[in-house]
C-alpha cells in the first residue's frame, strides 16, 4: 500500500497537480507548470522579483550609454532624459509582469500603455527615429503575448535581443548627445548576445531552449573574449555558467528563476562596461 501511494505521489507536482506529459515543445503549454508556488498580490515573493528585475534591466540599459557619453564629451544627465527614464521604468515593469505571469499578464498592458504615453513626449516624438524604435519595442511585448504570433521561440528571442539592445541604449545616447558613433554601436554587441543568452530560458523554457542556450552561451563567450579580457572576464563566465545551470533547476523557485537570469545579466554588464 505504501509503495503504491509513493508511486502515485511521484507523479505529482509539489502543489498536487499531475506532472504533464512532455508531448510538445511549445513553451506556452508548459509554462503553466513551471511555477509551483504562485504568490499572492501582497506576497513579498511577488514584489522582490519585480523590484530586482526592474532595477537590473535599467542598469543594463543605462550604464553603457552614460559611460560612453561621459568618456566622449563629459556631458552630465539632463532633464531631457526624464521621459526616457519613465519609459524604461514602465517597460521594465511590463516585462517583469509578463515574465512572472507566464507571458499572459493583463496588468502588463497598463504599463505598456504608459510607456507609449512617454514616447509621445515632445522630447522623444520630435526625434522620429527614436520615437519609432521605442514604439516598436513596446509593440513587440504586445505581440509576444498573443499566441497566434508564435513569438515565444528562437525568432522571438532574436527580435527581442535586437530591440532590447538597440532601442533603449541608442535612444539614451542620442537624446543626450544628438548624434551616434559607430564605436558606441559596436560596443553594444556584448549586450546583444547577453540578452540572447540570459533570456533564452525565459522565452523558451523547454528542451529546445536548453539546446539553444548552448549556442547562445558560446556566442556570448566569444563576444566577451573579443571585447576585453581581464580578471572580470572570469566572473562574467562564472555568472553565465550559473545562469546556464539555473535553467535545469526544477525546484520550487518560481519567479525567482527569472529574477536570477536578469540579475546575473546585470552583474555581467556591470563588469563588461566599466
Query: Would you state the pLDDT for residue 23?
Result: 41
Query: Would you state the pLDDT for residue 70?
Result: 81
Query: Would you state the pLDDT for residue 194?
Result: 97
Query: Would you state the pLDDT for residue 32?
Result: 45
Query: Would you state the pLDDT for residue 62?
Result: 95
For 253, half-sphere exposure in the C-beta direction (CA atoms, 13 angstrom radius) is 13
CA atoms of 143 and 243, how far apart (whole Å): 27
CA atoms of 212 and 235, how far apart (whole Å): 22
Mean pLDDT split into 10-residue runs, the chain, 274 residues: 50 53 46 48 73 96 90 69 93 93 90 93 79 94 91 94 96 88 92 97 91 96 88 95 87 74 96 90
pLDDT tens digits for range 192-239: 999 999 999 999 988 899 999 999 999 999 999 987 778 999 999 999
Task: Let me know if 71 is exposed, middle or buried by CB neighbors in 10 A (0-12, 13-18, 19+).
Answer: exposed
CA atoms of 191 and 168, how far apart (whole Å): 12
- Count the neighbouring beta carbons within 10 Å of the beta carbon of residue 12: 11
Q: Angle at Cα 59 formed by Cα 232 and Cα 127, nearest 5°?
A: 125
CA atoms of 163 and 171, how far apart (whole Å): 11
| Model pTM above 0.85 | no
Query: Would you state the pLDDT for residue 228?
Result: 77
Amino acid at each position: 500500500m505504501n509503495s503504491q501511494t509513493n508511486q502515485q505521489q511521484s507523479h505529482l507536482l509539489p502543489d498536487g497537480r499531475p506532472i504533464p506529459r512532455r508531448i510538445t515543445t511549445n513553451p506556452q503549454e508548459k509554462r503553466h507548470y513551471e511555477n509551483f508556488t504562485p504568490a499572492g498580490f501582497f506576497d513579498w515573493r511577488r514584489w522582490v522579483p519585480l523590484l530586482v528585475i526592474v532595477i537590473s534591466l535599467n542598469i543594463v540599459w543605462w550604464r553603457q550609454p552614460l559611460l560612453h557619453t561621459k568618456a566622449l564629451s563629459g556631458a552630465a544627465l539632463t532633464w531631457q532624459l526624464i521621459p526616457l527614464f519613465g519609459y524604461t521604468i514602465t517597460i521594465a515593469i511590463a516585462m517583469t509582469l509578463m515574465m512572472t505571469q507566464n507571458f499572459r499578464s493583463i496588468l502588463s498592458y497598463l504599463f505598456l500603455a504608459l510607456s507609449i504615453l512617454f514616447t509621445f513626449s515632445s522630447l522623444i516624438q520630435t526625434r522620429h527615429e527614436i520615437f519609432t524604435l521605442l514604439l516598436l519595442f513596446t509593440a513587440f511585448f504586445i505581440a509576444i503575448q498573443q499566441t497566434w504570433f508564435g513569438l515565444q521561440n528562437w525568432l522571438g528571442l532574436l527580435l527581442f535581443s535586437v530591440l532590447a539592445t538597440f532601442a533603449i541604449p541608442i535612444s539614451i545616447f542620442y537624446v543626450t548627445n544628438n548624434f551616434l558613433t559607430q564605436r558606441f554601436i559596436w560596443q553594444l554587441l556584448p549586450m546583444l548576445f547577453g540578452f540572447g543568452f540570459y533570456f533564452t530560458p525565459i522565452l523558451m523554457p523547454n528542451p529546445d531552449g536548453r539546446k539553444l542556450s548552448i549556442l547562445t552561451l558560446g556566442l556570448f563567450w566569444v563576444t566577451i573574449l573579443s571585447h576585453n579580457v581581464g580578471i572580470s572576464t572570469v566572473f562574467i563566465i562564472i555568472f553565465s555558467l550559473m545562469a546556464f545551470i539555473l535553467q535545469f533547476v526544477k525546484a520550487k523557485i518560481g519567479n525567482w528563476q527569472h529574477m536570477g537570469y536578469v540579475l546575473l545579466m546585470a552583474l555581467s554588464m556591470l563588469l563588461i562596461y566599466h
